[in-house]
Amino acid sequence: MGKVLIGGGAPISVQSMTITKTADVEGTLQQIYALAAAGCDIVRCTCNEIEAAEGLAQIVPRSPVPIIADIHHQYKMALAAMEAGVQGLRLNPGNIRSPEHIKAVASEARDRQIPIRIGVNGGSLDPALYKKYGGITPEAMVESAQREMAYFHEVDFDLMKISVKASNVPLMVEAYRQLSEVTDVPLHLGVTEAGPLPNGLLKATAGIATLLLEGIGDTIRYSLTADPVEEAKAGRQLLEALGLRERKNIDLIACPSCGRAEIDVIDVANRAMKAFGDRKIPLQVAVMGCVVNGPGEAREADLGIAAGNKRGHLFVKGRSVAVVPEADMVEALVEWAEYINEHGSEAAVARVDTAIAEREAERDRKALMSDKGEDANHSTERIVEIRRRNER
């Protein structure tokens, strides 16, 4: 797809779609740039009218990422989009059904070497298949894709990928599983019309992540009822979380907080997220509620902060390095993260006297222990009580 490889061993790519009128060239390009900055590799724009195709002719050469034209109903718009120079097309077999029209588009795409996605959508399934299968089923969606593929093959065109999206997660997962059994064509994953945040995120993640972990899928799109930048971010973050994409931003982890917490962990974690924003610091940073367990529980993190006695204890890979006033915790975290990112952990640790920090952390740890006890949950007494009741 233009400069982005899809399929085979290529990295999984993230896609999204603009929500501007494609004829609005400047507005659409602005959104494309925002999407690319958020981690989107390929952007789709609707090509629903001739003005949109004309817009694409101006958008494509100025876009930082390959552009796909989304085509519904009018096959002539596919021809116009190719003329405009798009790097890819998406056709919905449910609403361009004439074999002649499909083959006309595929022949032109073959000559121009432009890939096409066969975008089956549960909601707009070919009525004949709906009738044959008695509804939207995985089998019906797979057959829809196979029929379209057969038309493509008739004209010797095989530069394609396929999606079988549905808004129902189990249905979508099963359709992709079945599809992956019958073809090696690259697959584009998505849960269609997943809805607004946060439910849409959960639905899309449930479907997409399940399949990716099974080794199914080559490119993904979150279809959210939200600013498309949220789609791009979600796609990137999912790939990072699954270890399928190298991390570019902070991975902020935080303890869930408990009775031992010395700070409002939710507030500090949120403030830290905001402070890091989109900074390109690929480190794992931990916000922990107490110094008693925090540094140990988050010892794998590159950097972290734990609260104790109104102070923030900074630690690098589990090692105490500095103590700061509670009010400066977030600021200190950002400063240390930037330093580590630039100079490495060893250099960051070398700039301080860790013995002092370790002593201070130990002092606060002890103070908290004597205050709340080593056993904050009073488990010893609880166990005695459980046994006593059991003996009755």
Nearer CB in complex with ligand SF4: 74/293: 293
Binding mask 105-144 for ligand SF4 (x = CB under 6 A): ----------------------------------------
Sole binder of ligand SF4 in the list 108, 143, 297, 360 (CB under 6 A) = 297
* 158: helix, strand or coil: coil
Nearer CB in complex with ligand SF4: 155/266: 266
Sole binder of ligand SF4 in the list 79, 255, 314, 316 (CB under 6 A) = 255
CB atoms within 10 A of CB 258: 12
Q: Which stretch binds ligand SF4 (CB under 6 A): 20-28, 42-50, 291-299, 333-341?
A: 291-299
Binding mask 212-251 for ligand SF4 (x = CB under 6 A): ----------------------------------------
Nearer CB in complex with ligand SF4: 192/257: 257
Angle between helices 199-213 and 228-241 (to 10 degrees): 40
Please report whether residue 178 would count as binding ligand SF4 according to CB under 6 A.
Answer: no
Nearer CB in complex with ligand SF4: 72/372: 372
Q: Considering only CA atoms, which of 249, 257, 192 is closest in space to residue 223?
A: 192
Minimum distance of ligand SF4 from residue 132's CB (angstroms)? 55
Please report whether residue 260 would count as binding ligand SF4 according to CB under 6 A.
Answer: yes
Minimum distance of ligand SF4 from residue 366's CB (angstroms)? 15
Q: Which stretch binds ligand SF4 (CB under 6 A): 1-9, 70-78, 187-195, 286-294?
A: 286-294
Minimum distance of ligand SF4 from residue 309's CB (angstroms)? 13
Minimum distance of ligand SF4 from residue 282's CB (angstroms)? 24
Please report whether residue 288 would count as binding ligand SF4 according to CB under 6 A.
Answer: yes
Sole binder of ligand SF4 in the list 19, 258, 327, 356 (CB under 6 A) = 258
Helix residue ranges per DSSP H, the chain: 25-37, 50-59, 75-84, 99-112, 127-133, 138-154, 169-182, 199-213, 228-241, 265-276, 294-297, 329-343, 345-350, 354-372, 379-391
Residue 106 carries which side chain, given as an amino acid letter? Answer: A
CB atoms within 10 A of CB 170: 12
Nearer CB in complex with ligand SF4: 140/269: 269
Q: Which stretch binds ligand SF4 (CB under 6 A): 4-12, 19-27, 282-290, 367-375?
A: 282-290
For the CA atoms of 361, 363, 366, 367, the dihedral, rounded to the nearest 10 degrees, stands at: -110
Question: How far is 157 from 78, CA to CA, in rounded Å?
Answer: 15
Q: Which stretch binds ligand SF4 (CB under 6 A): 36-44, 65-73, 176-184, 284-292?
A: 284-292
Site for ligand SF4 in 261-280 (CB under 6 A): 261
Sole binder of ligand SF4 in the list 257, 320, 341, 345 (CB under 6 A) = 257
For the CA atoms of 221, 223, 228, 233, the dihedral, rounded to the nearest 10 degrees, stands at: -50
* 166: helix, strand or coil: strand
Q: DSSP label at 253?
A: E
Please report whether residue 256 would count as binding ligand SF4 according to CB under 6 A.
Answer: yes
Token pair for 392: 């009755």
Please report whether residue 293 would count as binding ligand SF4 according to CB under 6 A.
Answer: yes
Q: Are 276 and 252 within 8 A, CB to CB?
A: yes
Token pair for 131: 């009738």
Please report whether residue 290 would count as binding ligand SF4 according to CB under 6 A.
Answer: yes
Contact residues for 258 (Cβ-Cβ < 8 A; gap 6+): 289, 376
Q: Are 68 and 85 within 8 A, CB to CB?
A: no
* b/e sequence 58-76, b meaning 16+ C-beta within 10 Å: bbbeebebbbbbbbbebbe
Binding stretches for ligand SF4 (CB under 6 A):
255-258, 260-261, 288-290, 292-294, 297
